[in-house]
A and B are shown apart, each in its own frame.
Chain A
Amino acid sequence: MSEPISLVMCVGREYKLFALLDEYGRWGASKRIPVTNADLLGKIEFGKSRLFIAHPDAIVKVTDPQRTLLGLVIELCVQGYMSETRLLEDTTAFLDFDWENMKPQPGDEVPAPMLVVSCALSRLSSFNKEAYDMLVAKYKLKFLRGIVGWSYITRAEYVLPEGVTDVPDEHAHLLPFMEDGTITPVHVEYIE
Chain B
Amino acid sequence: MSRHYVYVDIITIESPVRECGKRKDFGLYILGGGISDPNGTLKHFYELHPPIPYSVPNHRIPRMVDANTVLAREPLEKWWVDSSARTEVRKAGIAWEIETFGMPLKDRLTLGECRYCKTAQAAAELITSKLMWSDRLPGYFREIADAGTDSRCAIPYETLRAALHKGDLFQAQAAIWQLRALLPKRLLHLRNTLMRMLVVMGLGQDAIEMP
Which of A6, A9, A105, A156 is in CB contact (< 8 Å) with B70? A6
Query: Chain A residue with minimal CB distance to B63?
Result: A8
Given known A3-B66, A26-B44, A159-B27, contact A103–B55 (CB-CB < 8 A): yes
Judge if A16 is at the interface, Cβ distance under 8 Å: yes
Contacts of A20 in B (CB 8 A): 19
CA distance in complex: A27, B13 (Å): 13
* B 13-44 to A, binary, CB cutoff 8 A, 1 in contact else 0: 11111111011111111111111000000101
Question: Does B42 contact A146, Cβ atoms closer than 8 Å?
Answer: no
Question: Does B53 contact A152, Cβ atoms closer than 8 Å?
Answer: no
Judge if B166 is at the interface, Cβ distance under 8 Å: no
Contacts of B34 in A (CB 8 A): 27-28, 154
Question: Does A154 contact B33, Cβ atoms closer than 8 Å?
Answer: yes
Question: Does B18 contact A23, Cβ atoms closer than 8 Å?
Answer: yes
Given known A31-B30, A157-B31, contact A184–B45 (CB-CB < 8 A): no
CA distance in complex: A43, B68 (Å): 17
How many residues does chain B have at the interface if contact means C-beta atoms less than 8 Å apart? Answer: 67
CB distance from A58 to the nearest CB of B (A): 4
Given known A15-B19, A185-B8, contact A113–B45 (CB-CB < 8 A): no
Judge if A178 is at the interface, Cβ distance under 8 Å: yes
Contacts of A159 in B (CB 8 A): 23-29
Contacts of A168 in B (CB 8 A): 4, 26
CB distance from A56 to the nearest CB of B (A): 7
* B 97-118 to A, binary, CB cutoff 8 A, 1 in contact else 0: 0000000000000000000000
* A 35-73 to B, binary, CB cutoff 8 A, 1 in contact else 0: 101101101000101111011101100000000000000
Query: Chain A residue with minimal CB distance to B69?
Result: A106
Question: Does A160 contact B25, Cβ atoms closer than 8 Å?
Answer: yes
CA distance in complex: A32, B29 (Å): 4
* B 110-153 to A, binary, CB cutoff 8 A, 1 in contact else 0: 00000000000000000000000000000000000000000000
Given known A6-B70, A145-B56, contact A27–B6 (CB-CB < 8 A): no
Given known A5-B66, A30-B32, contact A58–B51 (CB-CB < 8 A): yes
Question: Does A30 contact B29, Cβ atoms closer than 8 Å?
Answer: yes
Given known A28-B44, A167-B4, contact A8–B53 (CB-CB < 8 A): no
Query: Chain A residue with minimal CB distance to B52?
Result: A147
CA distance in complex: A108, B27 (Å): 37
Judge if A7 is at the interface, Cβ distance under 8 Å: yes
CB distance from A141 to the nearest CB of B (A): 15
Judge if A189 is at the interface, Cβ distance under 8 Å: yes
Question: Does A149 contact B45, Cβ atoms closer than 8 Å?
Answer: yes
Which of B2, B12, B82 is in CB contact (< 8 Å) with A187? B12
Which of A5, A12, A166 is in CB contact (< 8 Å) with B5? A166
17 further contact pairs, Cβ within 8 A, besides A147-B48, A158-B26: A3-B68, A10-B60, A15-B20, A23-B19, A27-B18, A29-B44, A32-B27, A32-B28, A106-B73, A111-B50, A113-B49, A113-B50, A146-B52, A167-B4, A187-B12, A188-B12, A188-B23
Which 9 A-B pairs rank lowest in CB-CB distance, beginning with the nearest? A151-B32, A146-B51, A28-B33, A104-B53, A29-B32, A24-B45, A6-B67, A110-B50, A28-B44
Can you give 9 A-B contacts (C-beta < 8 A)? A6-B66, A8-B65, A23-B18, A146-B52, A150-B45, A166-B4, A169-B4, A178-B8, A184-B11
